[in-house]
Structure 1
Amino acid sequence: MKTFNIGELSEKSGMASHAIRFYEREKLMPEPARTESNYRRYPEDAIARLQFIIHAKQWGFTLDEIRELLMLQDANGDRAEAKRIAREQLEKIREQIRSLSRIETVLSKTLKECSGEGPMDGCPIVEAIGREK
């Protein structure tokens, strides 16, 4: 079985070495085998696992949620749990979209109202940001 040192794994996965070590400490990556000189040696499937972590982070999953999904995958767990986690993430994303849409509406309106000239006092952009909740 082919194995990689941390530098090779970093290059192949697109993740920095210090991030790989962080995910090991966070128990998202299994403890790698060690050489007699105590160097880490990673199996080929570590690349796919790191890419899963990268994608899950891009999708907005927290480290705890990623850990839970990986534990389910490792144990061939229940799909219902994965679906629950994904459903909760989708609701968070939808709320972020609603929030960003409100912000976009207010910002667009205040940009039209602001002349872009004169003193800051009474600037509709600054006032709108101060009111935003």
Structure 2
Amino acid sequence: MSETRAAIGIGELARCAGCKPETVRYYERVGLMSGAVRTEGGQRRYGEEAVRRLTFIRHARDFGFSVDAVRELLTMSDRPDMSCHEVDVIAKHHLEGVETRLQRLEALRDELRRMVGQCAGGKVESCRIIEVLSDHQLCSSEQAHGGAGDLKQGPYR
């Protein structure tokens, strides 16, 4: 990184990592990013390490890792000589969660297809979709019920 980029502002840091300045502030508040050096005028200034760290955080969050998991991964990445066993454990646990959500999504998709397929296109008073949404017992799969709630998580951008 050039000498000029060694002291970039929050806007440039955010652009380098593909996020917004509010995201940088959020990561500072939750302890994933250390506070920036401030100029006499109070502006934040970041160096090359901050760009690398924020890029790592953003990429891990894009993969769906929780803030806590990212914190653990960052702690481990700061210790390059340690075994990567714990990193594997975190990644495998996350993969299991993704696979579970995928199964729930498939069940949700199948249930939605069934509901839409049963809709006769008449009036709302006899709409099968409204009927099924009003009564869980009309669903063909219990798995479809828990699927969407778990899928609302997403990376903070």
- Secondary structure, in 3 states, of the residue corresponding to 1:11? helix
Partner residue of 1:38? 42
- Secondary structure, in 3 states, of the residue corresponding to 1:120? helix
TM-score, normalisation: structure 1: 0.87
Aligned with 2:97 (options 83, 92, 95): 92
Matched, 1:119 2:121: no
Q: Which has the higher contact order (CA 8 A, sep 6+)?
A: 2
Partner residue of 2:24? 20
* Runs of 4+ that moved beyond 6 A: none
Aligned CA RMSD, in angstroms, stands at 1.8
1:11-30, CA deviations, whole angstroms, 9 ceiling, x for partnerless residues? 22221111101101111112
Where do 5+ consecutive residues of structure 2 fail to align?
137-143, 146-157
* AA of the residue aligned to 2:25: R
Where do 5+ consecutive residues of structure 1 fail to align?
none
Partner residue of 2:76? 72
* AA of the residue aligned to 1:115: A
TM-score, normalisation: structure 2: 0.75
Say whether the 8 Å CA contact 1:72–1:82 is kept in structure 2.
yes
CA distance in 2, matches of 1:67, 1:53: 9
Matched, 1:110 2:115: yes
Matched, 1:63 2:62: no
